[in-house]
């Protein structure tokens, strides 16, 4: 093992890795729509921490204003949003990504998003929608399994063969709908098709009622660093209609985004990591 690394919970970490900070972040990530309020033991279990470690982190976060408490249940406080807004404005999401998404939504209606890989998931970094129906929320910061989204499949197609095989070996596809593809061999072939075609279409993979088309956003070296999609209601639009009617505009928007990122190196660095 390198002297610059240390083992924490079975994983290699940099020697200067701050474990206390990591625990605090894991606690904030433990809260979601299904777990908006939790007891100490619930927080500890979801964050993978001992109750004592979770308690110390919660007290620290509470003192800093990121966590609140009512009776014996903890919840996030609005100050947490300052972290996401710092990313949003420092990365110039409002100047580079949102205008292109608004243009697509004005042209086609429905919704449009930009996402990038975050481990085995795709994380949405920009989103515009006129949709009102109840469905999986594609809001900024949402994370979904990459294998089940048009954005994720485009991003997976941008990986090297070795990285893709590593992903397929580790991922445990779960059926999110009755149509979700969970067979690794079929997923591999679909991702290879995305590479060959330069776009991905999905129907009811993540949630019922979502038909989507996605294309890559590439840097000046040709690396896929993000994905851009347009989505509509299953039954009102088909993948073939999207390809015929929306693919040219989607690719043009992806080119605009790639070109604009040249003026904002920080955004390219963020998406490319």
Q: Regarding predicted confidence, which is higher, 179 or 88?
A: 179
Q: Would you say residue 262 has pLDDT above 70? A: yes
pLDDT at 4 over 80: no
Structure tokens belonging to residue 71: 């009776």
pLDDT band at 77 (very low <50, low <70, confident <90, very high): very high
| pLDDT at residue 82 is higher than 90 | no
pLDDT band at 10 (very low <50, low <70, confident <90, very high): low
- Which is more confidently placed, 92 or 249? 249
Give pLDDT, residue 226: 93
HSE-up (13 A, CA, CB side) for residue 85: 5
Q: How confident is the model at residue 273 (pLDDT cuts 50, 70, 90)?
A: low
The SS3 call for residue 15 is coil
Q: How far is Cα 131 from Cα 108, in angstroms, rounded to an integer?
A: 12
Architecture of domain 5-80: Orthogonal Bundle (1.10)
* Between 183 and 20, residue with greater pLDDT: 183
How many other C-beta atoms are found inside a 10 Å radius of the C-beta of residue 149?
Answer: 31
pLDDT for residue 3 is more than 60: no
Q: What is the pLDDT of residue 1?
A: 41
Domain 91-272 has CATH 3.30.450.40: yes
Lowest mean pLDDT segment, chosen from 2-16, 66-80, 169-183, 200-214? 2-16
Q: Which residues contact residue 134 at a Cβ distance below 8 angstroms, ignoring those fewer than 6 apart?
A: none
Task: Output the pTM of the full model.
Answer: 0.79
Least confident of 94-103, 195-204, 213-222, 250-259: 94-103
Min mean pLDDT across 6-20, 65-79, 143-157 is at: 6-20
Q: How many residues does the chain have?
A: 273
Instruction: For 52-90, give the DSSP string.
Output: HHHHHHHHHHHHHTSEEEETTEEEE-GGGHHHHHHHHHH
Would you state the structure tokens that stand for residue 268, as one six-digit string?
């390219």
Q: Is 187 exposed, middle or buried (0-12, 13-18, 19+ CB in 10 A)?
A: buried
* Average pLDDT estimate for 174-202: 97
Per-domain residue ranges of the chain:
5-80, 91-272
pLDDT over threshold 50, residue 227 = yes
pLDDT given at position 73: 94
Pairing of β 11-14 and β 67-70: unpaired
When pLDDT is averaged across residues 245-258 and rounded to a whole number, the result is 95
Asked whether the beta carbons of 264 and 238 are under 8 A apart, the reply is no
**What's the pLDDT band for 9 if we cut at 50, 70, 90?**
low
């Amino acid at each position: 093992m390198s002297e610059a690394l240390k083992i924490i919970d079975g994983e290699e970490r940099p020697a200067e890795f701050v474990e206390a900070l990591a625990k605090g972040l894991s606690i904030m990530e433990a809260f979601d729509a299904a777990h908006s309020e939790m007891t100490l033991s619930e927080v500890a279990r979801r964050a993978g921490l001992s109750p004592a470690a979770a308690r110390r982190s919660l007290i620290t976060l509470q003192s800093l204003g990121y966590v609140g408490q009512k009776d014996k249940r903890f919840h996030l406080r609005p100050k947490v949003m300052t972290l996401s807004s710092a990313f949003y404005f420092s990365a110039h999401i409002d100047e580079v990504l949102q205008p292109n998404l608004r243009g697509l939504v004005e042209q086609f209606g429905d919704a449009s998003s930009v996402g990038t890989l975050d481990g085995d998931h795709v994380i949405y970094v920009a989103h515009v929608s006129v949709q009102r129906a109840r469905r999986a929320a594609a809001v900024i910061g949402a994370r979904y399994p990459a294998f089940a989204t048009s954005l994720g499949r485009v991003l997976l197609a941008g990986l090297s063969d070795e990285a893709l095989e590593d992903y397929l070996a580790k991922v445990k596809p779960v059926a999110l709908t009755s149509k979700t593809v969970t067979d690794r061999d079929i997923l591999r072939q679909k991702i290879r098709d995305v590479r060959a075609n330069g776009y991905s279409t999905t129907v009811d993979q993540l949630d019922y009622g979502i038909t989507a088309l996605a294309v890559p956003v590439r840097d000046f070296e040709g690396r896929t660093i993000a994905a851009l999609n347009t989505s509509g209601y299953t039954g009102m639009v088909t993948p073939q209609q999207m390809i015929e009617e929306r693919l040219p505009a989607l690719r043009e928007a992806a080119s605009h985004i790639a070109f604009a990122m040249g003026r904002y190196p920080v955004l390219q660095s963020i998406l490319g990591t």
